Amino acid sequence: MLMEHLILFDIDGTLTRTQNGFVPFNRAILDTFSVAGDIRSVFPDGMTDPHILEEIFARAGAAMAISGEQLNQFANNLRRNYAAALGDGTTTIRALAGVPELLDQLSAHGKFAQGVVTGNFEATARIKLDAAGLVRHLSLGAYASDSSHRPDLPPIAKRRWEKSAGRAIRPDACVIVGDTPKDLEAARANGMKCVLVGTGRHPIEELRYHAPDAAITDLTDTGAVIDLLEKL
Ligand SMILES: [Mg+2]
């Protein structure tokens, strides 16, 4: 059976929920820039990590241009601090309800390929997916380490899939699954479909208002989600 859809999942608020993720993030800011910054001073949902940093500094009245080298250092510090905080239990990451079953069944189905499109750097995305037990089906993706501009990311993931599969896929056969209007924006900018899920901080009514191809409260009804994805 030929693969018909490439499903590209956002991570935070869509596949996983993190408790106390601000601890490793804020430690990485201090380690990299030698100033205190607090991710809790901004609404980071749907933003890429480089834009979150810019927003934190701008809010603190310390707007600055962040160099590529500083971003690399920050990504390394974030990975190290995440590993430490997960190791001592300060930070916990779990898969959202229904997600492991959905990824398993999509993988077994035959008509779907799957990957991630996320504002996390690749190294942190790997740590989060691993901590949530989801890394198995999600080796493909595009990350903030590829571009800080989220709408750049879906075509990067698509190209990576095409390279590994050895054939092309139409943009409208790709579906972004996310929890914020920014996920929808990234899908629309690339002619892709979008399903928004109400498991993040945006209420489902607000997600519906933005008119994605579908809006659902969560991913718990595996059969219904797969039906929906097949019919998009
Ligand atoms: Mg998200």
pLDDT digits (tens, 9 = 90+) for 55-80: 999 998 988 889 999 999 999 999 99
Tell whether 108 and 184 lie within a shared domain. yes
Helix (H) or strand (E) holding 56: helix 49-59
Q: 46 C-alpha to center of ligand 1: Å?
A: 5
pTM for this model (two decimals): 0.97
Q: 179 C-alpha to center of ligand 1: Å?
A: 5
From 43, 65, 87, the end of a domain falls on 87
Residue 1 has pLDDT above 60, yes or no: no
Range of the domain at 58: 19-87
Give the whole-angstrom CA distance, residue 209 versus residue 202: 11
Tell whether 195 and 118 lie within a shared domain. yes
Tell whether 49 and 104 lie within a shared domain. no
Tell whether 54 and 166 lie within a shared domain. no
- Give the CATH number, domain containing residue 214: 3.40.50.1000
Helix (H) or strand (E) holding 93: strand 92-95
Copy the structure tokens of residue 183: 């996920």
Q: 181 C-alpha to center of ligand 1: Å?
A: 9
Give the whole-angstrom CA distance, residue 231 versus residue 115: 19
Tell whether 59 and 71 lie within a shared domain. yes
Domain total in the chain? 2
What does the pLDDT average to over 151-180?
97
Q: 203 C-alpha to center of ligand 1: Å?
A: 13
Q: How many CA atoms lie within 13 A of 214 on its CB side?
A: 18
Average pLDDT over the chain reads 96
From 87, 115, 145, the end of a domain falls on 87
Share of the chain above pLDDT 70, in %: 99
From 87, 103, 132, the end of a domain falls on 87
Report the sign of the C-alpha dihedral through residues 145, 106, 97, 45, in that order: positive
